[in-house]
Amino acid sequence: MLIKDGAVIQNWTRFSVRHRKLVLLLWILLVIFTLPLAVKVTRHLTTNGFESPHSQVHWATNQLSHFKPEPTPVPLLIQHMSSGAAKRHASAIGVPTSSLHRIGVGKIVFVPPSRFSLAKESQLEKAIATHGGTTQVVSQKAVGNVVTHDAARTLATSGVLAMPILAVLLLLVFGSVLAVSLPLIIALAGAEVALAAVRVISLHMQLSVFLTDIVSFLALGVGIDYALFISTRFRRNLDDGLTVEDAVADSMTHAGRSVLYSGIAVALAVMALIFGNNAYWQGLAVGGGVAIFSVLLATHTLLPAIMGLFGEHIHWGRVKRIDFGLWRALSGWVTQHAGWAIVLSLVILLPLAGLAPQIQMSTPANLATMLPKSDLLRRAVGKQQDIQGPGVIAPIAVVVRLPKPLSHQANWVAVERLTNHLQRLPDVKSVSSPTLLGAPPAELSATIADPHHAVPALRRAIQTFVAPSNSRLMVVYVVAKSGPNQLATSRLVGRIDQHLPEWLPGGTRASTGGLVPVLRAFNGTTQSRVPLIIASALAVALVVLTVATRSILQAVMGVVFDGLVALATAGFLVFVNQHQLLGFERQPLDSSITPLIFVLLFGLSMDYEVILLHRIQERWLLGDSPRDAIQGGVATTGSMITGAGMIMVVVFLALLISPLQIMKTLGIGLSFAVLTDTWIVRSLLVPSVTTLFGRWGFWPWRPKRPTELTVHPQSGE
């Protein structure tokens, strides 16, 4: 059965080895010709994409780009100047000193008072700069730029910091200096081809720019795993005396077959994120799926050619590793004391799984709360909220497209009615509307009809609310009494959207837009779609495991155990959050990464599950008893599975250097998930439960011909 499954792979592998120079040349040409596409991958990717493409909030937010509001004074963060000096310079140019607020030594926030002029703020900036101080704009856009910069810097810096440990682990796990180059070659080739493919796909589908990180991330992760599993078997085959071609063919027939199934599982699991129904999740889904398939392509074509080229030289720089007999001892204990192994596993996992229902997810609309509490920009935003009100940092835009141009007086009567309704809402602090400019509807309609003969001040003021390119499109801004992250603000947005149809004339299209409505919609959509995303990933695991092992029992067990690890990971994140460990602040987990943690867990766990189960089946086919096959499978794959897991954990834990809690959550969540999956589920739970089932452990699959498969008993995956 296993030979039949691996026949195609073996035939192709022998072709790749015999024509390795041709295969290498084709890959070099592929990389060269796709490089220009990969370099330009971000050209058609969106930096937003958090809203569903055909939703009302998406329409409203897109319409905001048509408006050209007059620049207004904004809060400034002043640094490198004492509070007294800043007040002296401000007073000298007529800026009220009461608008300067000290938040630290040499750190002051300037919050413009009402009716403050832009020219006066410009004078203040020049005065501060002249006397050695610096100024920084305080806004949600500025905070967003800092968050994006810190996240990108973390991804770059964490890799550099993790490199020494990663290099040692790679050397210990792969066993030789030359072998370490294999995963790097596969990962780089796979990532480059994947980015080029994404560039083509992005021409026909809106995708998020955030996918570039997931492509590199997954290509490196699975590239290491797949190269490890295949090259380990290849080197052991060489040690057993096989020719280079036979060694490559055997490693690809068995380890390569396992990698193929696990890779398909990972790709399809990650692609379940497409059910998130917006460009952000679509980008991660498409980028992740394409990355895995690209690495699989490299693994099954480029890798056998390179191994054929290296041949016996793959042992160059070999590291002598001490065999402590850990996995032989552990596999023996697990199969002899299966009940205790199950109890130990459940004692570790169940208490954490019990905390999972407490998990909360929300991406904050007040972006400053993503920064550490000590961050100056966050403190400046907080001071602005204290002075001007919590909701002032993120006004809610009510975008209205009327059936007739605004030159019709009746439209301004409708806008005035809308403004009055908004002002009467209990959670509204203030409303900015053209009907509050002091001009009656007749004068407003006349200004639109004949702007050249209108009062200049009114004409300039009204331009903030009416789109220059569309005389039917206008906007009203609402400031909530509560902050952007508060439930009351979210409810206010929902209440406005609910009543807009009854407040405006028939034929009008209207909706709220901007940061708060967009992230409200994103959080709501993500929370409602998480069950579908997780169910899809589990369904993929069930189908792929059934096809890979021919065992319904093992497929069901795999899904149940993956679900248990997911619950335990969720509970662990709740525990870390509640007790504010590792610098965590008590706040909801970010919606933009929490589903990703679970999907990556389901996908990556398939790597280890398929490798372990295939090895057990292989030994069973050789004639081992079920218990001996399980013991041998764990003994020969345990070091690889946990070694690959530890390599991933080093990469993940390096994210803890970030000042951003979102990056720390991603790092600690994935680290816990991988450690739990490799050291508890694959090392204890799967072999112990399979042992209890005995000869029915792979039901309905059972070996029929012990001599059907020709392998080397000492070879590992």
Q: What pLDDT does 99 receive?
A: 94
Return d(Cα 284, Cα 270) in angstroms, integer. 8
Tokens of 365: 């609309």
- pLDDT band for position 713 (cuts 50, 70, 90): very low
Please report the DSSP string for 254-292 in residue order.
Answer: IIIHHHHHHHHHHHHHHHGGGGG-SHHHHHHHHHHHHHH
Quickly tell me which residue has 């940061």 as its tokens: 515
Percentage of the residues of the chain whose pLDDT score is greater than 90:
50
Q: Do 18 and 489 contact (CB within 8 A), yes or no?
A: no
Return d(Cα 410, Cα 422) in angstroms, integer. 19
- pLDDT band for position 715 (cuts 50, 70, 90): very low
Angle at 480 between CA 474 and CA 486, to 5 degrees: 125
pLDDT in tens, 63-80: 998 998 888 899 999 999
Contacts of 99 (CB under 8 A, 6+ apart): 90, 110, 111, 112, 113, 116
Q: What pLDDT does 710 receive?
A: 42
Q: Which of 338-342, 418-422, 486-490, 603-607 has the lowest mean pLDDT?
A: 603-607
Closest CA to 50 of 508, 471, 364, 481: 364
Q: How many CB atoms lie within 10 A of CB 403?
A: 14
Q: What pLDDT does 398 receive?
A: 97
Q: What pLDDT does 13 receive?
A: 83
Q: Do 219 and 295 contact (CB within 8 A), yes or no?
A: yes
The one-character DSSP state at 403 is S
Quickly tell me which residue has 């004078």 as its tokens: 123
Q: What pLDDT does 187 receive?
A: 87
Q: Strand 76-79 and strand 134-137: pairing?
A: antiparallel
Average pLDDT, the chain: 88
Q: Do 298 and 155 contact (CB within 8 A), yes or no?
A: no
Return d(Cα 664, Cα 654) in angstroms, integer. 9
- pLDDT band for position 448 (cuts 50, 70, 90): confident
Closest CA to 492 of 415, 416, 414, 423: 423
Residue 358 has pLDDT above 60, yes or no: yes
Q: How many CB atoms lie within 10 A of CB 170?
A: 24
Q: What pLDDT does 225 receive?
A: 84
Quickly tell me which residue has 């963060």 as its tokens: 77
Rg of the chain taking only CA atoms, in angstroms: 31
**What is this structure's pTM?**
0.87
Mean pLDDT on 249-267: 89
Return d(Cα 557, Cα 318) in angstroms, integer. 38
Determine the 3-state secondary structure of 101 from DSSP: strand
N-terminal to C-terminal alpha carbon distance within the chain: 18
pLDDT in tens, 69-110: 888 899 999 999 999 999 999 999 999 999 999 998 889 999
pLDDT in tens, 172-215: 888 888 888 888 899 889 889 998 998 899 888 878 777 777 78
- pLDDT band for position 606 (cuts 50, 70, 90): confident
Q: Strand 134-137 and strand 428-432: pairing?
A: unpaired
Q: What pLDDT does 232 receive?
A: 87
Q: Which is more confidently placed, 708 or 480?
A: 480
pLDDT in tens, 565-580: 999 999 999 999 888 8
Angle between helices 626-653 and 594-621 (to 10 degrees): 150
Tokens of 268: 């399809």
Determine the 3-state secondary structure of 476 from DSSP: strand
Q: What pLDDT does 324 receive?
A: 64
pLDDT in tens, 362-395: 999 999 999 999 999 999 999 999 999 999 999 9
Q: How many CB atoms lie within 10 A of CB 261?
A: 22
Q: Do 316 and 178 contact (CB within 8 A), yes or no?
A: yes
H-assigned helices in 19-45: 20-39
Closest CA to 170 of 571, 542, 704, 646: 646
Mean pLDDT on 216-245: 86
Tokens of 712: 């080397």
Q: Do 442 and 460 contact (CB within 8 A), yes or no?
A: no
Question: Residue 33: is it exposed, middle or buried by C-beta count within 10 angstroms (0-12/13-18/19+)?
Answer: exposed
Q: Do 387 and 101 contact (CB within 8 A), yes or no?
A: yes
Q: What pLDDT does 665 receive?
A: 92
Q: What pLDDT does 600 receive?
A: 85
Return d(Cα 412, Cα 713) in angstroms, integer. 85
Residue 598 has pLDDT above 70, yes or no: yes
Q: Which residues pair with 137 in a beta bridge?
A: 76
Residue 483 has pLDDT above 50, yes or no: yes
